[in-house]
Structure 1
Amino acid sequence: MDSSTAKILDGKALAEQIQTQLRQEIEQLQPQIGRPPGLAVVMVGDNPASAAYVRNKERSCAHVGIASLGKHLPSTTSQTELAELIQSLNQNETVDGILVQLPLPAGLDADSLLQTIAPEKDADGLHPINLGHLVRGEPGLRSCTPAGVMRLLEHEKIEIAGKHAVVVGRSILVGKPVALMLLEANATVTIAHSRSPNLAEITRSADILVAAVGRPQMITQDMVKPQAVVIDVGINRITDDSGKSRLVGDVDFENVRRVAEYITPVPGGIGPMTVAMLLENTVLSYKNRHQV
């Protein structure tokens, strides 16, 4: 590898290691508990990107030995029907984790549905009670994508304590929880967003830069401090001049890798880690519910 380019943080390889460990753990626990862990992914409508994510999650479940109890519903499903389905999954003894695949079709209120999920089965870590545990630094199910970011940094032994971390993006899915997790790891954290004046000035001060805005290649080379750690959480599909579509992140990868010390690719960086953390949350819930 050219020493003048950043080291690539391989989320795919680490996710495979985590899945292997989970598979071994499930093989040991299943005879004691009498059933495998169960994850119910609720998908409404036929958004092609969501369908691809759900297929990927179901394949990963099969790979580690988690029973995939998917519920694929038509886009005409009402809010009440969805709430009733979640309540029935809350009561179902074979379900350890419940996940509502976002975005939902227009007219459905995702927030109230996420709050309907029993906190101990909240595989995505987005219930207000689990976010409250995160704010207080208490154990609990953690949001999958931010937890995946932290696990990748830990695995690479990247120093976080005392570093300045800048998170671009303030969503409840990624921006806010990852900022809290970095704070918990003793970083000094700045949250910036699309309305921050002098955004480039803020990002250039980052030792660790997390991009989670959902805008293709928004973070350019001149916005990155030399030798920074750049974590790209964005997944954007763009179409080039020839009509071919491909996935890119929120970071201009080819140019930023010339100045950064570490960088995550898209795809193959944080995406696989998100799925690995979802499986890990499901297994954690399985163990907690059976006190093993």
Structure 2
Amino acid sequence: MRFASTERYVATPELAVAVNAAITLERPLLVKGEPGTGKTELAREVATALGMPLIEWTVKSTTRAAQGLYEYDAVARLRDSQLGDPRVGDVAHYIRRGKLWEAFAADTRQVLLIDEIDKADIEFPNDLLQELDRMEFHVYETGETVRARHRPVVIITSNNEKELPDAFLRRCFFHYIRFPDADTLAAIVAVHFPGLKPALLTAALERFFEIRETPGLKKKPSTSEMLDWLKLLLAEDLAPEDLRRSPREALPKLHGALLKNEQDVQLFERLAFMARRQG
């Protein structure tokens, strides 16, 4: 049971080693990297490649760690007691299973994705230490202990918006997905656009990396934005020469797919203005 690149996902050798090491060690894989570098998609492809079901837990700023275990719906129980519902005597009826409970109780081994863990409160990772380490937790309302039937493959993603606690990091296998070089990005593009003409691909990659390496850029375009841009280029039937940088038009064609804030658009407009003055 080893992971490698799939038909839809290009994994570098280093990333494949990280995934397989985490599986061997039976520790969560913590994946960091720029937004749009395929961290979430990695978990989906690992699940597909290993033939395991995927459980996704998307973390938000309001998410609490306890929600991943279970939630006790006291309001529903109170309402049912007022209505004379006979189910009110069974507290288990008002326990809502969380994503971790689903993964622990599954009949087969699962891939559990905890997506964007850095969005939650700083205590969120610490609150999951024991559950992820021991693969069990206690349900206080019913007095039962839930233990994992099969230890899930846990993949945790972070956009590095805040630091994670050292105690949490110690329990993870870590990998940072670096932005792909030109050859790797070309391989990624080939997966999504297998019939793309080499001349258009070369011109698009050259223009894309010119934009990413522009000094002063606030948000560099990501891999997913490059794929969106290529899709638009094909839809508009643009030729390679249409992508060449022009002193009078510093903004790339269909730049809205690559530049996502007004500061970066203004930066390229100023560069075009300066180039015209120097010309």
Q: Does TM-score exceed 0.5, indicating one fold?
A: no
Report which of the two structures shows the higher radius of gyration computed on alpha carbons: 2
Q: Please report the TM-score for the alignment, with normalisation by the length of structure 2.
A: 0.28
Q: Please report the TM-score for the alignment, with normalisation by the length of structure 1.
A: 0.27
